[in-house]
A and B are shown apart, each in its own frame.
Chain A
Amino acid sequence: MDYQLIVPYIPNLRRYARALVGDREGADDLVQDTLERAVRKFHLWRPGDLRAWLFSIMHNVFVNQLKARKVAYEVEMDEIAAPMSSVTSTDLMDLDRALSAISPDQREVVLLIALEDMTYAEVGRALGIPIGTVMSRLSRGREKLRRLMEGETPRSALRIIQ
Chain B
Amino acid sequence: MTAEDEKLRKLLHQRFDSVLEEPIPARMHLRSPAWIDYARVAAIFVAGLGIGLAVPLLRPAPPKAPPAAQAQPMPALAARAHYVYTREKRHAVEVEAADQEHLVTWLSRRLDVPLKVPVLAKEGYALMGGRLLPGTDAPVAQFMYEDASQRRLTLYVVGKKHKQPVTAFRFIQEGLVNVFYWVDPECAYAISGEIDRNELARVANVVYKQLEGE
Q: Are B14 and A92 interface neighbours, CB within 8 A?
A: yes
Interface residue total, chain A, C-beta cutoff 8 A: 34
Q: Is A71 an interface residue (CB 8 A)?
A: no
Provided the pairs A2-B175, A18-B19, A114-B8 are in contact, do residues A32 and B13 lie with their beta carbons within 8 angstroms? no
Residue pairs across A and B with CB atoms within 8 Å: the count is: 80
Q: Complex: how many Å from CA A35 to CA B4? A: 34
User: In the complex where A92-B14, A95-B12 touch, is A39 in contact with B22 (Cβ < 8 A)?
Assistant: no
**Is the pair B175, A5 in contact by a Cβ cutoff of 8 Å?**
yes
Closest to A94 in B: B11
Give residues of chain A (1-41) contacting chain B, Cβ–Cβ below 8 Å.
1-5, 7-8, 10-12, 14-15, 18-19, 28, 31-33, 35-36, 39
B-to-A contact residues, CB < 8 Å = 4-5, 8-9, 11-17, 19-22, 24-25, 27-29, 31-34, 36, 63-64, 83, 174-177
- Would you give the shortest CB distance from A143 to chain B, in whole angstroms? 9
Q: Is the CB of B177 within 8 A of A4?
A: yes
B59 to chain A, nearest CB (A): 16
B residues near A35, Cβ cutoff 8 Å: 28, 31
**How close is A90's CB to chain B, nearest CB, in angstroms?**
10
Residues of chain A having any CB pair with chain B under 8 Å: 1-5, 7-8, 10-12, 14-15, 18-19, 28, 31-33, 35-36, 39, 42, 91-92, 95-96, 110-111, 113-115, 142, 145-146
Least Cβ–Cβ distance between B143 and chain A, in angstroms: 22
If A32-B63, A142-B8 touch, whether A3 touches B15 (CB-CB below 8 Å) is no
Q: Which residues of B contact A95 (CB under 8 A)?
A: 11-12, 15
- Cross-chain contact B20 with A11 (CB below 8 angstroms): yes
Task: Tell me whether B174 and A146 are in contact (CB under 8 A).
Answer: no
Which chain A residues lie closer than 8 Å to B29 at the CB level?
A: 7
Given contacts A1-B33, A14-B20, 20 further A-B contacts (CB under 8 A): A3-B32, A4-B174, A4-B177, A7-B29, A10-B28, A11-B20, A14-B22, A14-B24, A28-B25, A32-B64, A39-B33, A91-B11, A92-B14, A92-B15, A95-B12, A113-B9, A114-B8, A114-B9, A115-B13, A146-B8
Q: A10-B24, A145-B8 are in contact. Are A15 and B17 (CB under 8 A)?
A: yes
CA distance A14 to B63 in the complex (A): 17
Shortest distance between the CB of B64 and any CB in chain A (Å): 7
**Complex CA distance for A145 and B8, rounded to whole angstroms:** 9
